[in-house]
Amino acid sequence: MLEIRRASVLYPGRDGADPVEALRSIELDIEPGEFVVALGASGCGKSTLLNLIAGFLAPSSGQIRLDGAPVTGPGQDRAVVFQKHALMPWMNVIDNLSFGLKLQGVEKAERHRIAREFLELLGLEDFETSPVYMLSGGMQQRVGIGRALTADPRILLMDEPLGALDALTRERAQELILRIWEAQKKSVFLITHSVEEALFMGTKLIVMSPRPGRITHRFDLPFSRQHLSGMSGREVKASPDFIAMRETVLSIIFADEEKAA
């Protein structure tokens, strides 16, 4: 579905400094229903890669294609969830949720009806008309995820959406995203700093490495499917396979750090 072919990004260096090679020759496919997770040290180009897919940034060389057609800009088929929710504070919860539908010209009663279906899924039934600036951080983030979903994108792009949440809220949000992913059959591209989160959620993991930013390792992951077919989140994360995988990935990332240092 989404294909990235030999994509590179060069940021011009500031004040005559050398240009930054943020991404070099990235090859990546995202298939329908796939959950791709990106891990890597800070500055390895994860957000740059997401911006390429979202269409905010054009690659210096290489191609990004969606169903064979080159990506030429942002669009409704690739909704983004940001680390800082980026909600509109002048709207209440339901209007934020249905913002994408409003942009598409769906009339108010209808878009509220659609958004209401997501309220329950997000656990926000009691907050339909609350102003968003009065919600907790976890609730705001859920509204941000819901807003992306109501626009009915084909790929959900998430840049550390849970990074600012506490451990418990974060685990709940992880399970919520997994349930939504399963129920709505979306593709997901998720950036995270947490190895555990990456392993738990993804079906495909890419590990990236900085200077130049590139994909150094790829793994197929079974854990989200295990969870969705009945194992509890805690059980999955405590299983020997999970722990072994976590150590493998951590040692890759630490090795990268040491090379960089």
Ligand X SMILES: Nc1ncnc2c1ncn2[C@@H]1O[C@H](COP(=O)(O)OP(=O)(O)OP(=O)(O)O)[C@@H](O)[C@H]1O
What is the binding site for another protein (CB under 8 A)? Answer: 54-56, 73-76, 78-80, 82, 84, 86-90, 99-100, 102-104, 131-133, 144, 147-148, 151, 153, 157
Inter-CA distances, 208 with 27, 29, 103, 220, Å: 12, 15, 35, 15
Phi, psi of 229 (to 5 degrees): -95, 20
Least distance in angstroms from the C-beta of 159 to Mg ion: 6
Which residue's beta carbon is nearest to the bound Mg ion?
47
Question: Residue 7: is it exposed, middle or buried by C-beta count within 10 angstroms (0-12/13-18/19+)?
Answer: buried
Least distance in angstroms from the C-beta of 108 to ligand X: 37
Q: Which does 54 bind (CB under 5 to 8 A by kind): ligand X, Mg ion, another protein, none?
A: another protein
Least distance in angstroms from the C-beta of 80 to another protein: 4
Task: Closer to another protein by CB, 46 or 237: give it.
Answer: 46
Task: Closer to another protein by CB, 86 or 250: give it.
Answer: 86
Per-position x/- string for 43-82, each x denoting binding to ligand X as judged by CB under 6 A, each - no binding: xxxxxx----------------------------------
Rounded Cα distance, 196 and 245, in Å:
9
Q: Determine, following the binding rule CB under 6 A, whether residue 203 of this chain makes contact with ligand X.
A: no
Contact status, residue 100 vs residue 140, Cβ threshold 8 Å: no
Q: Which does 57 bind (CB under 5 to 8 A by kind): another protein, ligand X, Mg ion, none?
A: none
Q: Determine, following the binding rule CB under 6 A, whether residue 22 of this chain makes contact with ligand X.
A: yes
Task: Closer to another protein by CB, 145 or 205: give it.
Answer: 145
For the chain, give me the number of helices (H) and strands (E)?
Answer: 10, 10
Contacts of residue 187, Cβ cutoff 8 Å, sequence gap at least 6 = 1, 2, 30, 31, 32, 33, 34, 35, 36, 154, 155, 156
Per-position x/- string for 151-170, each x denoting binding to ligand X as judged by CB under 6 A, each - no binding: --------------------
Cis peptide before 59 (omega within 30 of 0): no
Residue 190 structure tokens: 């998720």
Inter-CA distances, 144 with 119, 141, 189, Å: 12, 5, 16
Least distance in angstroms from the C-beta of 4 to another protein: 17
| List of residues contacting ligand X (CB under 6 A) | 11, 20, 22, 40, 42-48, 213
